[in-house]
Amino acid sequence: MATGQKLMRAIRVFEFGGPDVLKFQSDVAVPITKDHQVLIKVHACGVNPVDTYIRSGTYSRKPPLPYTPGSDVAGVIEAVGENVSAFKVGLAACQIARAYGLKVLGTAGTEEGKNIVLRNGAHEVFNHREVNYIDKIKKSVGEKGIDIIIEMLANVNLSNDLNLLSYGGRVIIVGSRGPIEINPRDTMAKETSIIGVALYSSTKEEFRQFAAALQAGMEVGWLKPVIGSQYPLEKAAQAHENIIHSSGATGKMILLVS
């Protein structure tokens, strides 16, 4: 390490495994910005289920070891590489859909969760822990069905999703924790589609479109982040445990860095 180089606190992973492989360190060298990079002084870092899959070594995309986990942060840009012209931010599907004039239906597992979804743009919210919640959704949307379903837990819900779609409807899979058996015939009569998405697969032009829409939302005021459980950086392992095994989310789980 060069003399005088700045140090920072960080979580480092030196081997794939359970939450215990998340190692808190207070003497990690601050990265030096390269031409196509942005250096951010992080104040908070989001915790997502995909972070646990990557950490365990079971995800299709494995970072070289050692690495610092996390894919979305909030902070202040301290340095920008010479060839950087734009940077990206995260999405809030419910708020965006409502702002663009769509009728929005949501699900949650608690009354608190339902209220949060309603406050953030949904016209109706259903409790997915109720045995007959699918019937309630069908009654609400009628024979037409649902045009787009953004699915966070496909290994549980995909089969039901296909039966809720409208003609030409789509299920957009952004989260899944394992396999599920479906009947392909459920896609045929209405010519529906199942589409998997991953933010890291987006093109530069798509990122520019995301940024423009989100910037507009923040300026006008309809895009507002919802913060849930908060943990100090030293409790990263507990956060990784809870993001998978907690009974339900009430907003974005974050690690507080500074």
Output the pLDDT for position 91. Answer: 34
Beta pairing partners, 165: 146
What's the per-residue H, E or C state across 211-258?
Answer: HHHHHHHHHHCCCCCCEEEEEEHHHHHHHHHHHHHCCCCCCEEEEECC
Q: With pLDDT > 90 as the criterion, what percentage of the chain qualifies? A: 31
CA of residue 76 relative to chain centroid, distance? 21
pLDDT band, residue 225 (cuts 50/70/90): confident
Question: Model-level pTM?
Answer: 0.65
Buried b (16+ CB within 10 A) or exposed e, 182-214: eeeebbeeeebebeeeeeeeeeeeeeeebeeeb
d(CA 164, CA 105): 12
Domains and CATH numbers, the chain: 7-86+225-256 (3.90.180.10), 89-200 (3.40.50.720)
Output the pLDDT for position 82. Answer: 67
d(CA 147, CA 243): 29
Give me 253's structure tokens. 């789980």
Residue 90 scores a pLDDT above 60: no
Backbone angles phi, psi at 255, to 5 degrees: -105, 130
User: What is the mean predicted confidence (pLDDT) over 163-190?
Assistant: 91
> Distances in Å between the alpha carbon of 81 and those of 87, 109, 183?
11, 44, 49
Tell which residue, 111, 32, 22, 112, has the closest CA to residue 67: 22
Query: Would you say 256 and 43 are in contact if contact means Cβ atoms under 8 Å apart?
Result: yes
What is the DSSP secondary structure assignment for residue 67, as one 8-state letter?
A: B
Please write the tens of the pLDDT for every residue from 27-56. Answer: 988 888 877 777 778 888 888 888 999 999
